[in-house]
Each structure stands twice: as C-alpha cells, then as structure tokens.
Structure 1
Amino acid sequence: MKKSLLILLLVTLFAGAFAQSHKTQNVIIVTLDGMRWQDVFRGADSALINSKYTDDKDEVKKQFWAQTSAERRKLLFPFLWSVVSTQGQIYGNRDLGSKDEVANPYRFSYPGYNEIFTGFPDVRMNTNDPITNPNMNVLEFINKQKGYEGKVIAFSSWERFPQILNVSRSGLPVYSGYADLKNTDANDRLKYLNELQKDVPRYLGDSTRSDFITYEFTKEYMKQYKPRVLYMAFDETDDMAHEGKYKPYLERARQEDGYIKTLWEMVQADPLYKDKTTLLITCDHGRGETPIDTWRSHGADIKGAEQTWFAVIGPDTKGLGEIKTSTTTYHKQLAQTIAQLLGFDFKKNAGHEVGDAIGTVLK
C-alpha cells in the first residue's frame, strides 16, 4: 500500500513539474493512412518492387532504391530522416526492438483513429460506417480549455472524421472529404480552394478528396487563422496500397513527407509557433508483409496489421532520434501524450478509459 502511494505521489509530482516547465503551446498532428512501418524504417521494399504490384520497375529503382535501408528510407521520407530523426524521436522499428502497435483488435481505420484521439480502444468501434462516436476525444477536450477555445481544427481527405470526432457534440470544425470551409472572412486563397476542390479529378471516388487539396486547405488556414491545435489527415497511401499500386504508394508517401516539411518550415518561421510547437506524425493501422499479397490489406485477420509507428518533434521532446530500446508503445497512449504536452490531463477528464502518456516523449 505504501509503495503504491509512493508511486502515485511520484507520478503526480512529475506531472506537476512538467505542467510548470513545458514549452509546447501548439500541437500539429498528421496521419498517413495505412503507411507501413516496414517502408518507414527500411525504405522501399525490394520484394514489392520486383513483384506484380510495381509497374515501371526501373523508374521506381531510380527514385527509391539504394543499397542500405538508411539510404532508402531517406529517399522515401527526406524530412523524417533528416530533421525528425536528429531533433525528435521515431518509434516502431521492430528490427531494433522498438514496437509500436494499435491496441484495438480490428486494425482498420475508424477503430484506429478512435484509439488515437480518444485513448480508448473501444470494442464497439468495429466499423467504417458513419456512426457517431460516443467517446470524448482529446481535440474536443482541448477545445474546451482556456486559451484554446475555437483554436482547434481538423482537415482530412477521408470523409468519416465528422463522425469519428463527433462534431454534433464536440462542436469542432472538421473539414473532410469535399466539405467547403465555412469561414465568411476566409481569404481569397481559401475561397478559391472551396471552388477548386469541386473541379479536381475525383480519382479517390465521390467522397474522398485528394491529399493535395487537404494539404492546401491546412496550409492556408494556418497562415490566416493561426490555430493552436491542428490535425491533418492524409488518405492516399492507404488507397494506393489497397489498389495494389506500389509505385504510387511510394510517391504519395514522399509527397506527404514534403507537405509536412513545408508546414514545419512555416512553424519555424513564425514567432507565434517557433519553439512552442510539437509535431506528431503517425498512422491508423499497419498492413501485412508475408505472404506478399497481404501488403494490400489490413484487419483482424491480417498478420502484422497491428504494427504501427509514430514520430514526434518539439520543444519538450528530447532529440533521441530512432528509438532502439526494446519497448512497446500503443496508440491508445497518444491522446494523453498530446494533452500532457500542452499541460492538460485528458485521462482525468475523458469519462472513459485512456492510456497513459508516453513518458519518453516528455522531457
């Protein structure tokens, strides 16, 4: 009993000390839907390059192939493996013993995003249908805190986030699919994007817009409105993988790395954000690896689909680089980690189970 009380006291003192000393005042969260950890840490996969899933193999090798995994992954994710790897932390290289996983048993998108933002791998969330999520999410919680009211926003390519983040209850502005930005004082560029998204080719279907449009909305919104918490959700890596198109999958991944790089450079050039902002990058689920055909898929019946990754960079995160210790982190821990980076306690206020924060992310 005395030992338990001592541990509780130490945890409370640590949390209190961090709340007083933390520097993070803003958070940017980015997800790359269905992006495999194998490609993040090893770079382009020779088995997939030389398979039926890759057209124009010579061109893919020219763009993405090198002799070592360190070289290949930097060709695929230049920003991640030049800036985040030196100034931040990257989790999930299972080749080195660092395991990152989803805790939910379903291993597909809605359950994955529910877990990230509510900290709760709710077994009821076994659908991609437009059901309203009953669980409070960390963005909703932060939006209610002093100084953050009306300063939290989400842009996503996939149309399901208004239900995942329960906009009818949370009141969060969530612009998903082909939804227009509703701000009456929006600048001309944002108004133009409302028009442009209606005219771009809908190669992802009538509900999911291109990641380029999602990125452009996010970038221009940041410039004008200076949100304090921003979520940007890309989708095309998952779409290309499901279609069995490895070359476009790699191309979208590198393109999205470039989008993230541009946002981070904007952050570093803006006094309102510079040295006050933490960036977190992750995915919603993994994919299969063997047999090779399972790279297209994920779900409860796909071996390895629970295997994920995340990266973080910011003023309260030590520059440990690639995590090489034998540890396991779970996506149910990310919601409380995000809250604590801003000095808040989501777990205490969520009204449901929430995973503990990842202590190594916090100095």
Structure 2
Amino acid sequence: MKRIILTGLLFICVSISSAQNKTKNLVIVTLDGLRWQEVFRGADSLLVNLAEYNSDKKGITERFIRKSPAARRELLMPFFWSTVVQKGQIYGNRDLGNKAEVANTFRFSYPGYNELFTGFPDPRVNSNDKIPNPNTNLLEYVNQQKGFEGKVIAFTSWDVFPFILNDKRSGIIVNSGLTDLNIPGISERLKLLNEIQHQSPGFVAEEIRLDVLTYQFGKQYMIDKKPRVLYLGFDETDDLAHQGNYKMYLQQARKTDAILADLWNYLQSDPFYKDQTTLVITSDHGRGEMPLETWQSHGEKIEGAEQVWVAVMGPDTPAKGEIKTATTIYHKQLAQTISELLGLDFKSGAGHEAGAGINLK
C-alpha cells in the first residue's frame, strides 16, 4: 500500500511539474567546434594578423576587430549578444571564471555528441566511425513520451548523425548529409531542397551538406509539420577551423548567428511556438588556443579542447544573461536539463545515470 501511495504521489509531482512548465517545444542547435574564445571575446587579433590563417587582413580587421572583447563579440555574433544575452542565459566565459566543459576525455565530435544527448561520457564511444550508438539518447526518449510520438526530428550537416542518434533503433527521423527527406506528404519546398542539396558544391567532403541547407530543411519542416522537438546540427565552423581558414571561420560564425536570429524570429512569429519554445545552443567540443596553431585542432592531446559554451533561452529560463559565477557545468548535464524543461525525467538506461540537470532558476 505504501508503495502504491508513493508511486501515486510521484506521478502527481511529475504531472504538476510538467503542467507548470511553459516550455511545450524545444529546439537544440549545435555549432560544431566553435570556440568559446570567439563567442566571448570575438575575433582573435593574433589569428587575424597572420597571413597563413587570414588572406584578408585589412577587410577582416575592419569588419571584426575592435579594442574591447565586448565590442568584438557583438560584431561577430550580434544576435547572441543582444537577444540571447537579454532574454536567456550564457555559460562558459572562462575569463570570468565561469566554465563549461565536456566530461569525456576524447574531446572530439562523436564522443561529444554522445555525452550531450545521452547524459554521460562513454569510453566505448571513442571514434568518429559510423558505428551505431549503443546508448539511449534524449531525442529517442522524448519521442517515446506521450504527446511527443513522431514529433521529434533532427536535421544535420554531418552524415554521421544517423549513427550517433541510432535512427534505426530510436525510430526518429535523422536527416543528415545529402540524404533526401523522403516522408509522406512533404511540401514542394522540401522537395526542392532535396534537389538543391545535390546540386550544391561539396564544402569539405561530398557527403557533408551546407549548413544553410540544413537550416532551411529544418525551418521548412517546422512550418509544415510543427515538430515539438527539433535538433539542428551545423558543421562548417569546425571544417573551416581544421582547414586553418580563420577568415572563413569568422564569417561562418557570423552567418550562423544570423541563422539563429532568423530561427528565433520564426519561433516567436508562429502561434504554435511563440512563448512556449526553449532554444538551447552549444558546441560539441572546444579547440586549442596556445600554441597558436592548436586553434585548428581538438582531441585528447589538445589543451583547451574540453572547453565549450552553452546558451539557453525560453519561457522557463530566467533572463540572467552572461553567467559570471565561478562554477563549472558539463555537457553530460544537458540531456537532463533539456528533459526537465519539457517536464520529463530522462533516464539514460543501460546502468548509466545521466548527469544532474543544470539549475537554470
């Protein structure tokens, strides 16, 4: 009898928590390999001044270099440092003692995304190979909850995500790389995007889709189908950094910020999403800073590659702006944080416990 009563009380508490949350929908966006240094300090003048990384010193200096880090970051990411900082919370400015890190020791993409979406670092996930992830992920879990069935979808530029999110097992749609979106009743615009992606130039590899097309797929799907949870995985900032092309890396960061602005404007213009959608933005890993050439790289041997950043904005997130307290959050906490925003309690399964959610209040 006591067990029945306790179970009933737990159900009531969870129901009340869910009812109190204003967040009914959620959008997650990752900017692969975008450093916290650019997010919080703006363009790095040392890299801008080196011809081996920047072919347009005069132009990039005029566009992105100012005396103060605050002015530089506002030029690089104006939406981030106007709307997001005013309406949400931003973590990871190590210059203020506020740290955001990955807990996995590998410090590259697949392990980073596994940690983000499953709530724990897994030593078995130690490569970027196309191996189905054995771990239950957050999107898979949410898709199984009442009211979310079939309303969770991912669009990503990198073609490894069907394996990271294990779409064969999870049952969620993971549209990645240059794979056509083939589902019943898609709009003419989505059919056109299917066509355009095959006619666009390969950015780094033929199988990687341009971020702008990944975004247009996701936005149009929101317009047409109204998913409750959408994941957008962008890739180009990481690709450009690996190439050592700091000029294009900065320009892509600026373009992605404009995409985020367009995304938020759409969410606030559609009655289905307006004032009941939380936006979470982050990266999968960091990069090096010193020696200078390590900015191109990441991995377990690169100092600083564990350093990331996180932004959250939505109806259940108090507008605290740039977090300045000397604390550390970890990517393994994000799965439960996102789950709690939706009034849910994510369980990673397989004997693993997801990291505790971040206290946004």
Q: Is TM more than 0.5 here? A: yes
**Does residue 19 of structure 2 align to residue 24 of structure 1?**
no
CA distance in 2 between counterparts of 1:138 and 1:348 reads 8
Match of 2:228 in 1: 228
**Does residue 209 of structure 2 align to residue 177 of structure 1?**
no
Q: Classify the secondary structure of the residue corresponding to 2:329.
A: strand
**Per-residue deviation, residues 217-253 of structure 1 (Å, max 9, x unmatched):** 1111111011100000000000000000001000111
**Does residue 308 of structure 2 align to residue 308 of structure 1?**
yes
Q: How is 1:1-363 mapped onto 2 (pairs within 5 angstroms)?
A: 18-51=17-50, 52-347=52-347, 352-359=352-359, 361=360, 363=361
Matching residue's letter, 1:157: S
Matching residue's letter, 1:29: I
CA distance in 1 between counterparts of 2:124 and 2:353 reads 13
Matching residue's letter, 1:241: A
**Per-residue deviation, residues 108-134 of structure 1 (Å, max 9, x unmatched):** 000000000000100110000000100
**Per-residue deviation, residues 164-221 of structure 1 (Å, max 9, x unmatched):** 0011110110000001011231111100000110101112211111111101111111
CA distance in 1 between counterparts of 2:85 and 2:350 reads 32
**Runs of 5+ in structure 1 lacking a partner?**
1-10
CA spacing shift, 1:154–1:202, aligned 2, 3 Å: same
**Runs of 5+ in structure 2 lacking a partner?**
1-9
Which one is further off, 204-213 or 187-196?
Answer: 204-213
Question: What is the TM-score of this pair, normalised by structure 1?
Answer: 0.94
CA distance in 2 between counterparts of 1:15 and 1:207 reads 43
Question: Are 1:137 and 1:350, in contact at CA under 8 Å, matched by a contact in 2?
Answer: no
**Length, aligned pairs only:** 351
Cα RMSD (Å): 1.6
CA shift for structure 1 position 66: 1.2
CA distance in 2 between counterparts of 1:254 and 1:345 reads 35
Q: Classify the secondary structure of the residue corresponding to 1:78.
A: coil
**Per-residue deviation, residues 291-311 of structure 1 (Å, max 9, x unmatched):** 000000000000000000010
Question: What is the TM-score of this pair, normalised by structure 2?
Answer: 0.95
CA distance in 2 between counterparts of 1:198 and 1:164 reads 23
CA distance in 2 between counterparts of 1:283 and 1:194 reads 27
CA shift for structure 1 position 329: 0.1
CA shift for structure 1 position 13: 11
Matching residue's letter, 2:175: Y
CA distance in 2 between counterparts of 1:16 and 1:291 reads 52
Q: Classify the secondary structure of the residue corresponding to 1:30.
A: strand
Question: Are 1:347 and 1:355, in contact at CA under 8 Å, matched by a contact in 2?
Answer: no
CA shift for structure 1 position 19: 3.2
Q: Classify the secondary structure of the residue corresponding to 1:308.
A: coil
Matching residue's letter, 2:28: I
% identity of equivalent residues: 59
Question: Are 2:119 and 2:348, in contact at CA under 8 Å, matched by a contact in 1?
Answer: no
Question: Are 1:135 and 1:352, in contact at CA under 8 Å, matched by a contact in 2?
Answer: no
